[in-house]
């Protein structure tokens, strides 16, 4: 397909675009962006896959840019597609608001769609979520956990309202706003009664001689873990259990002689309860900022804003990292 552009390089003629674009183009594009699959989007919209493909081609011709990359397993947004998605979502949201503004029916109850890294679930998120639901039992909260990059993509596609996660590279963060809540280092934790638990000055090499549980490959904590070992001239041991699931990591550490190398937030509660012991090993340099990601310029409902205020207050009350050394 040849995408036509104005001679001045500013993209398709705005007047022509306004005259020819239809809501079906936006609905189709948003559905594919959210579901990342032409067939699934067609099922949602009641269209055949060829009809979805044709509608998307029409839209790309209108905007003068490729918005999606078609793959055998699904679709991905291009950089132009990510930018266009923000505006398409805003148009459809404004239309919904316009309809609600003249509706005689009761306003729909707000539902918070929250994404979170697995490591923050046992610590900050659990405490805030429990207190919030006790105070607001009528507000539904849907929590989706996952690695940082997929959470960001779901946030951009309006499948999530906010994400409790990490900063990413500039390209991934385009169109997003990050509010830092604090930093967290990596810790090495073992069960109470572990041979290393009573050692006053254990060595990192001694910890690596035990079975090791460490963050999943491709995650920011995994990169920090590998950097930590490299600074001490130590290779990554063979036969590690790799997971970003905080529950699996904690259960493995509690049931075996494994050493769990994980973000502090994943192990903080178990350490405070005394069922896990934090090894007194220096992990300086592994600190990573944790915070709230949201779409730039997007408006959140009052319930979501209230939940974010609770997150900020809870983060400010968290014990200092040194308190658990």
Q: Model confidence over 7-24: pLDDT tens digits? A: 444 444 677 788 888 889
Q: Which domains does the chain have, with CATH numbers?
A: 14-101 (1.10.10.10), 111-182+288-320 (3.40.190.10), 186-278 (3.40.190.10)
Query: Which pLDDT score is estimated for 272?
Result: 92
Residue 294 banded pLDDT, cuts 50, 70, 90: very high
Give me the mean pLDDT over the 165-181 stretch: 89
Phi, psi of 261 (to 5 degrees): -100, 110
Residue 191 banded pLDDT, cuts 50, 70, 90: very high
Helix/strand/coil for 57: helix
- Contact in structure between 89 and 158 (CB atoms under 8 Å): yes
> Token pair for residue 210?
């035990």
Q: Which helix (H) or strand (E) holds 308?
A: helix 302-317
Q: Model confidence over 228-265: pLDDT tens digits? A: 999 999 999 999 999 989 999 999 999 999 999 999 99
Q: Model confidence over 110-169: pLDDT tens digits? A: 789 999 999 899 888 999 999 999 999 999 999 999 989 889 988 988 889 999 999 888
Query: Which pLDDT score is estimated for 215?
Result: 94
Cα–Cα nearest to 216, from 106, 118, 112: 118
Mean pLDDT (the chain) is 87
> Token pair for residue 194?
């572990």
**Position 87 pLDDT exceeds 80:** yes
DSSP code per residue over 214-250:
EPPTTSHHHHHHHHHHHHTT-PPPTT-EE---HHHHH
């Amino acid at each position: 397909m040849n995408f036509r552009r104005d001679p001045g390089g500013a993209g398709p003629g705005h007047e022509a675009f306004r005259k020819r674009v239809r809501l079906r183009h936006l609905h189709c594009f948003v559905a594919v962006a959210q579901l990342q699959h032409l067939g699934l989007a067609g099922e949602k919209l009641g269209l055949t896959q060829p009809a979805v493909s044709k509608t998307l081609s029409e839209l790309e011709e209108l905007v003068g840019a490729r918005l999606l990359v078609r793959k055998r397993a699904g679709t991905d947004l291009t950089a132009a597609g990510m930018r266009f998605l923000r505006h398409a979502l805003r148009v459809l949201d404004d239309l919904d608001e316009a309809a609600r503004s003249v509706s005689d029916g009761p306003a729909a109850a707000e539902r918070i769609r929250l994404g979170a890294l697995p490591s923050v679930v046992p610590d900050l998120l659990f405490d805030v979520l429990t207190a919030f639901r006790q105070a607001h039992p009528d507000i539904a909260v849907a929590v989706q956990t996952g690695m940082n990059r997929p959470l960001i993509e779901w946030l951009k596609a309006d499948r999530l309202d906010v994400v409790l996660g990490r900063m990413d590279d500039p390209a991934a963060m385009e169109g997003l706003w990050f509010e830092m809540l604090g930093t967290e280092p990596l810790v090495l934790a073992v069960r109470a009664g572990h041979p290393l638990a009573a050692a006053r000055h254990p060595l990192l090499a001694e910890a690596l001689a035990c079975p090791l549980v460490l963050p999943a490959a491709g995650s920011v904590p995994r990169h920090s873990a590998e950097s930590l070992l490299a600074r001490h001239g130590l290779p990554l041991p063979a036969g590690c259990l790799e997971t970003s699931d905080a529950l699996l990591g904690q259960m493995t550490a509690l049931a075996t002689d494994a050493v769990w190398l994980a973000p502090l937030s994943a192990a903080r509660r178990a350490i405070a309860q005394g069922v896990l012991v934090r090894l007194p090993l220096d992990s300086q340099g592994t600190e990573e900022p944790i915070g709230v990601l949201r779409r730039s310029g997007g408006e959140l409902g009052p319930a979501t804003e209230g939940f974010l205020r609770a997150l900020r207050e809870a983060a400010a009350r968290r014990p200092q990292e040194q308190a658990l050394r």
